[in-house]
Structure 1
């Protein structure tokens, strides 16, 4: 195991001289905790999709890095995120997805909350039959709301509350994909799946960022969207990924296709782009559908990949939609042996983080640089506070 804190001096060097992140950033529990705060709590992380709570009153309990959260569509039709705990004794409130018909009731002492988080009932808090007490100010004891934002069908959260507004923090990406700022319709139950992967979540990002591996890992995809058809997408401190100039629209047996998004420029007739919005959301856009992969870290060496597909209209052909889901699942499954193999490789004690191809690995090196910079910044803040 690398000594702690890890030495990141070589990671932020120019790509031709840099090494990748040390092994401990993929295997060590202490480093995982450090990155949890520096990368996932302090930024805008993906939690879920709006389609998880389609109707007013819908509530879904979620865990984000061990923190119990509750995704709710309130009575005003707003999607919100709360800490899923009662303000009385910290009891978890909701344990299964359900529709909130009345109030969110704590199963321990029956304190009740509205879907907008307000504390509305505290039975016997002042003694038997006394439902109020001067020492319990309900206005100050509503559910703790987690800062959230909705974009590309994804519910993004900022746990620390310290990040710039989502529109400011992601202004460059929002501008790049402004044409897709229109209604997105989740394809439904046949347009989502989850992959359980035995690797650190960052390896999924690193693999997704680059097209270098296409000829060997995705030979079917590379047969029509070749390595040489791809280009790099690199925005320091923000996002990185790849694009293709050759997107082949999926067709049904009778030549049917998905409806296009409205008002797209000619570029998107044949182009598609695949970007990681740091830290943990992998996004893809095409003329006729988009997708989001939300990476849920389960520990240093386990990740859940939640995949969701979206379309330009609320109703699409069932068979074609199922075929599209299968096509993407097959592609993403092809990556599993790669990221799991790299994870096993991080237990080789002499591995120095590896090197980067200056011509082909720019997007991945940019991600490593971002990770190292955020971790170093947190370390300096912690040092200054001592």
Structure 2
């Protein structure tokens, strides 16, 4: 199925949103899998998932089995989680790799850097080599990856420009936060499983228009009029606020600030969607990352992680912060699930955008449309 995207890439005052098929049709979902997720720098996991050398965690990205591992030298890598012999899954649950990564089928073994190091009986019983099996050519397939703000981004098809080039503008915008981000630990991560297409979670996060009605508690001090749009066509979009209120313990204690911040961040904060599927928050005293895992046309897992400037923070205050953010993010669930149901109405034309309020969301729609347009033209030329 080929959808008409011509109205999506119009200027916002005359544009429509993405057609219903982009939320309900399996063929379009498969097209987006290749052109919108696999061809770009997509969020996969966080480096904190494998905190120590030898830690390995199996993950999937739209059905592709991958292995997140911190090698013996401390570098985080991503490999296809399959043996080069017969395609068997190598690691089925998170664990520590004490020696080598051993395939449970025929015991081919790989180093944590992906090198094939052992091929038992490959030349016959007791013969562990064969002249036609070149170990140097049969290491694990490594996926291009880049870590920023602890998020592990991957480019599964290898078609994207270097991460630093693609996101040079955002890296410069938030250069003041280049100091270490320390994951808050087990009480600073949670998951929301939402019955919606992953794009609707991005669209909702981008804008502040819904704050008065969906987040009345947040809007009570950080009002709609206190927000501004963040718009970088082709890369990211979101919102900022001039009124950020630090969480305080009963004793008045707050989280320590990230070092070297300018006055802008004393009461300001910014929230951006890094296309396609990573949502980030930057505040003076903590940060968060949300990785959207598309699990189907109308199923998305939101993996939320909270970070601090110091490895040591007050346990009770940290727990309160997690609970506060969880409440905010849960308030959005009925909205994105409601919009998903709405995309089954055959007369819906993608909707219209408020030229004054929906700029960040329109940018995301236009980005998706442009990526698919480019892919369609490339395939037509082949």
State the TM bucket, normalised to the shorter chain: over 0.9
Return the TM-score normalized by structure 2: 1.00
Matches within 5 A, 1:175-190: 175-190=172-187
Match of 1:205 among 190, 193, 202: 202
Match of 1:263 among 260, 274, 292: 260
Check if 1:220 corresponds to 2:217. Answer: yes
How big is the shift at 1:287?
A: 0.1
Matches within 5 A, 1:47-126: 47-126=44-123
How big is the shift at 1:183?
A: 0.4
CA distance in 1, matches of 2:165, 2:264: 26
Partner deviation per Cα, 1:74-121 (whole Å, 9 max, x = no partner): 011100000000000000000010000010000000000000000000
CA distance in 1, matches of 2:166, 2:92: 33
The CA RMSD over aligned residues, in Å, is: 0.4
CA distance in 2, matches of 1:12, 1:102: 52
Q: How many residues are treated as equivalent by the alignment?
A: 382
Query: 2:277 maps to what in 1?
Result: 280
Matches within 5 A, 1:257-336: 257-336=254-333
Check if 1:33 corresponds to 2:26. Answer: no
Check if 1:170 corresponds to 2:167. Answer: yes
CA distance in 2, matches of 1:313, 1:37: 39
CA distance in 2, matches of 1:14, 1:73: 45
Check if 1:381 corresponds to 2:346. Answer: no
How big is the shift at 1:182?
A: 1.0
How big is the shift at 1:54?
A: 0.6
CA distance in 2, matches of 1:222, 1:183: 30
Paired residue secondary structure (2:65): strand
| Runs of 4+ deviating beyond 4 Å | none
Paired residue secondary structure (1:370): helix
Check if 1:139 corresponds to 2:136. Answer: yes
Partner deviation per Cα, 1:208-240 (whole Å, 9 max, x = no partner): 000000000000000000000000000000000
Return the TM-score normalized by structure 1: 0.99
Check if 1:337 corresponds to 2:334. Answer: yes
Query: 1:354 maps to what in 2?
Result: 351
How big is the shift at 1:162?
A: 1.5
Structure 1: gaps spanning 5 or more residues: none
Matches within 5 A, 1:3-42: 4-42=1-39
Check if 1:193 corresponds to 2:194. Answer: no
Match of 1:233 among 211, 230, 237: 230
